[in-house]
Amino acid sequence: MFSRGRDKWEALCTICKAGTYVSVANKGCGDLETHIYFHIYTVRTESLKEYCEFVDIQYRTLLSHSKTRWLSLFPGIQMFPALKAFFLSQEKPPVAIKKFFENEFSEIYLWHMHSLMTVFHEHIEDMEKENNSVVEVSNILHSVHNVFQERKENNFMSIKVKKLLAQKRKDGHDQDCNQFCAAVNGLYTACLQYLDKWMTPMAEFSPFMWMDLSETPDWNDVETCIKYLREKGVQIDDVKCFDQFTNLKKFAERSNSDGEFKGKQVHRMWTEYFERAKSVQNHSELLKIAQFVFALPSHNANVERVFSLMQSQWTKERNQLSVDSVKGLLLVQYNFKNITCKDFHAYLLNDRKLLGKISSSAKYGWAEKEGTQEDDWEHKGKMNNMLPLFLFFFYFEIFIFSHWPQEGIRMDNLCFFYVPKG
C-alpha cells in the first residue's frame, strides 16, 4: 500500500512496549496452568469446591492466564491451601503442578510474583492509552526500569513474603530461605537485562525527551533535536526556531506551576501552546518538530483494536458482508466512539442531507462519488413516513456493535510507520 511513496518515505520502527512488558515477565518466570486442569472436567471443579468448603476457604473461579493482565494470579493465592491439598490428594496429578505444590516455598513464590506483576499491570494501563506519544512511552519504560533497579539494589520483598520467610527460618529452612533470596535477586536481574535489551531501540528518540515539558526546556536539547531531524530530511530553520523557543520557554515556566496543565498528555500540552500563539509564524519551526514526533506511533494497540472491532462484525452469522460494508461499519464505530447515544441521535436528526440519503431507496454508491448534488428534500415527502424506521435500524446496529465485547487484542512486537524525508 506504500509502493507509490517508497522513494520519498523512510520507515521508522518502534517496539510495541506493552508486548515488551509481557516478554520481560515471561523471561523472569514461567506459567503454571492450573486452570486447564479444572477447565476440561466439571467433576474436578466440584471436587475443588468441596475442598474449599472443608478447609473453610471461599471458592473462587481460577482464571485463565492472560499475557497482558495479571488477574489470574490472585484468586489462586487466596485459595492456596485448598489447591495444595486438592492436588496432593490426587492419584495422578500433572507432574509440574505436583512438583510445585510439594515445594515448601511454593506459596512464597506466588506472593512474590504477585507483588512483581502489579508493577507491570499498573504501567501497562498507562502504556496503552490511545494518544500516547513516544516521549510518554519512553518515560514509562524508564520508570519501570528504575523500580526494578531499586528493588534489585534493596533485594525488595513484600512484608507478606518476609513474614512467611521468617516462619520458614524458625522451622529450620535457613538454607532454602537463602536460596529463595538469591532467586529473587536473579529474577530482578533477568527482568532488567531483558528490559534493557528492548529499550535500546527507543534510545533513537532520546533527542525529543525535552518535549514532555516536565522541566523548562533547554536550547541545547532543542539543537540536538534539530540535528536529528536534518539527518532524517526534515529541515528546521534554527535561527527562527531559537526565537520561537524563547516564547516556548516563557510558556513552560508559567505552566510548570499549573497542576492541571502538568497532568495533561504531552500532545495536549503542545496543542494548548500552539492555540495560544498569535499566529503560525510564532511557532512554525516548533510545529514541524511536533508534527514529526506525534506522527510516530508509540505502540500498535490502536491498530489491533481495529482488528478486534472487525472480529465483532465478521461473525458466523454475519459472514456475507462486503469489504465496503465492513469498512463503513468500522469507520462509524471508531470515529464516533466518544459520542454518546443521545448525541449521535441528535447528530443524525440535524443532518438533513444524511437523513435524505438514509430514507432514499437508492443504493449507497453515492458515498463513493465526489461532488454528488444534494437530493431535493421536498421531493422525498413520500419517504418521510418511513424515516423513523430507517433511523431505528441504522442507529440500533451502531449501538449494538459499539457495545459488543472487544476481546482478543493481540500485541505484536513490531509496528512500522512511514515519515516523510522532506
In DSSP terms, 383 is beta-bridged to none
CA distance 191 to 87: 31
Same domain (yes/no): 189, 76 = yes
* pLDDT(251) > 90: yes
Q: Do the domain assignments include residue 138?
A: yes
- Give all strands (DSSP E) within 268-311, no chain letters: none
Q: Which residues have CB under 8 Å from 387's CB, separation 6+?
A: 355, 358, 359
Same domain (yes/no): 50, 185 = yes
Kindly indicate the confidence band of residue 122, based on its pLDDT and cuts at 50, 70 and 90: confident
SS3 content of the chain, % helix, strand, coil (to 5): 70, 5, 30
Q: pLDDT, tens digit, for every residue of 173-193?
A: 999 999 999 999 998 998 899
Q: Do the domain assignments include residue 225?
A: yes
Q: pLDDT, tens digit, for every residue of 331-383?
A: 888 888 888 888 988 888 888 888 888 777 766 555 555 444 444 444 444 44
Contact 67, 22 (CB under 8 A): yes
Q: pLDDT, tens digit, for every residue of 15-69?
A: 454 444 445 544 445 444 444 444 444 555 666 566 566 555 565 554 444 444 4
Mean pLDDT (whole number) for 372-395: 45
Residue percentage of the chain with pLDDT more than 70:
66
Q: Do the domain assignments include residue 418?
A: no
Cβ-in-10-Å burial (0-12, 13-18, 19+) of 244 comes to buried
Cβ-in-10-Å burial (0-12, 13-18, 19+) of 166 comes to exposed
Cβ-in-10-Å burial (0-12, 13-18, 19+) of 359 comes to buried
Give the model's pLDDT for residue 389. 44
* pLDDT(167) > 70: yes
Residue percentage of the chain with pLDDT more than 90:
28
Q: Please give the helix or strand (H or E) that residue 307 lies within, else none.
A: helix 301-313
Q: Do the domain assignments include residue 364?
A: no
Same domain (yes/no): 28, 126 = no
Same domain (yes/no): 255, 307 = no
Q: Which residues have CB under 8 Å from 94's CB, separation 6+?
A: 37
Give the model's pLDDT for residue 33. 46
Mean pLDDT (whole number) for 225-230: 94
Same domain (yes/no): 290, 327 = no
* Structural domains counted in the chain: 4
Q: What is the mean pLDDT of the chain?
A: 73
Q: Nearest Cα to 34, choosing from 82, 105, 104?
A: 82
Same domain (yes/no): 162, 46 = yes
Same domain (yes/no): 22, 80 = no
In DSSP terms, 417 is beta-bridged to 12
Q: Do the domain assignments include residue 415?
A: no
Domain that holds residue 217: 213-295
Mean pLDDT (whole number) for 258-281: 90
Q: What torsion, rounded to 10 degrees, do the Cα atoms 102, 108, 113, 115 define?
A: 160
CA distance 350 to 238: 48
Q: Do the domain assignments include residue 256?
A: yes
Same domain (yes/no): 54, 75 = yes
* pLDDT(11) > 60: no
Same domain (yes/no): 140, 272 = no
Query: Model's pTM, two decimal places?
Result: 0.63
Three-state SS at 9 = strand
CA distance 372 to 353: 11
Give the model's pLDDT for residue 383. 42
Kindly indicate the confidence band of residue 239, based on its pLDDT and cuts at 50, 70 and 90: very high
Same domain (yes/no): 184, 233 = no
DSSP designation for 214: S
Q: Do the domain assignments include residue 419?
A: no
Same domain (yes/no): 308, 275 = no
Q: Do the domain assignments include residue 377?
A: no
Mean pLDDT (whole number) for 189-216: 90
Same domain (yes/no): 191, 83 = yes
* Per-position DSSP letters for 185-200, written without gaps between them: HHHHHHHHHHHHHHHG
